[in-house]
Amino acid sequence: MTLVAYTAEQIFNGNALLSEHCLLVEDGHILGLETVSKLPNSVEIIDLGAGVISQGFTDLQVNGGGGVMFNDDPSVATLSTMARAHGLLGSTSILPTLITDTPQVTRAAIDAVDQAIAQGIDGIAGLHLEGPHLDPRRAGAHLPKFIRPMEQDDLALLLEAAKRLPVLKVTIAPSAVTLDQISDLAQAGVLVSLGHSECTAQEALAARDAGASCVTHLFNAMSQLTPREPGLVGAALTQTGLMTGLIADLIHIHPDSLRAALSAKPRGSSFLVSDAMAVAGSDLDCFTLNGRKITRRDGRLTLEDGTLAGADLELSRAIANLVSLGITPEDTLAMATTIPSRMIGLDVGLTQAGPADFVHLGPDWQLSQVWRRGEALLR
């Protein structure tokens, strides 16, 4: 057995930044944190220098990566490519996300994730189904012809998937489901998220009371906060019980809107997502989704009519963006690590025993190195 101590200028323990500490790793597993002064002389010390060591990122909204889209081929091979691409970008745990599609593709996605987890593909934590039970008035880049209300067969499929998968997240619009359906999903352990919706604040809170606990990519593809109707945005910002996902590329959300949202929400109730598409971890300048061309240009992914279609974003850049807006590094790192991890029941932080999945971020918050099960991924 080989015991190695990794140290850097600071280590993020899931809540605070620590100095003069090191991360103990043995045979691909984390043993915990220790002060450098207490290490025995026999321990190998790897000093990474300036920057921060942190738990690997957990990304709950990943549509594609490494040149492939989950919708195009919901298979174990696609999931393996996505997990590898996002691992190299620091996201050591992801929820592959299926955008609104046919029932057949949805079933294939569930089967693929089940098989990938059974085969031990590192990084696949579960599945996020973003649709098809959305509001066509807020379709965004989702193909309207596939959007539809939830029927009994759909509910049965989701309840079965919840039994098969360690994590199932489902984004729905209150107009496309009943409160009883939300309750059934939540009671089965499904993480029910509200999104792509024109709902009123009252409808959003009724869904929350039925079991919804999350909001998908806050501000985007949803009813906005207005003087006489708070909408889904207002409900998410002012009421408790709704975690909010944020695409912090400074394109999907204006910097001042990000500041306002994080000021309004209690600490620990927002998390970062990449909403990544096929281009993540690749040099592609375009790809297709449901037969429609999506172009990558100047940090944006857009359909031909200019509609934003996912994000050209890595979580390390999202972290750098939030820190540049004055959000504390501790709060920002938690939004990419411990908060989303806790939401899906993963071990959190570097203080608990578990797989040695961690990253080193340089002084400018750029990703320097990634380790998965103790193995460095970047060469």
Q: What is the pLDDT of residues 213-265, one digit of tens each?
A: 999 999 999 999 999 999 999 999 999 999 999 999 999 999 999 999 999 99
Q: Give just the sign of the alpha carbon dihedral 130, 132, 135, 140.
A: positive
**Percent of the chain at pLDDT exceeding 70:** 99
What is the per-residue pLDDT for 379? 66
Question: In CATH terms, is domain 3-54+350-376 a member of 3.50.50.60?
Answer: no
pLDDT band at 206 (very low <50, low <70, confident <90, very high): very high
Q: Is the pLDDT of residue 179 over 70?
A: yes
pLDDT at 80: 98
pLDDT in the model for residue 352: 76
Contact 101, 117 (CB under 8 A): no
Backbone angles phi, psi at 258, to 5 degrees: -60, -50
- Whether 275 sits among the annotated catalytic residues: the reply is yes
pLDDT in tens, 326-339: 999 999 999 999 99
Catalytic residue (choose from 101, 275, 312, 357): 275
Provide the residue ranges of all domains of the chain, joining segments of one domain with +. 3-54+350-376, 56-343
Crossing angle for the helix pair 152-164 and 103-118, nearest 10 degrees? 10
Report pTM: 0.96
Adjacency order of strands within the sheet including 29-35:
44-47, 3-7, 21-26, 29-35, 354-355
pLDDT at residue 87, as a whole number: 97
The CATH architecture one would assign to domain 56-343 is Alpha-Beta Barrel (3.20)
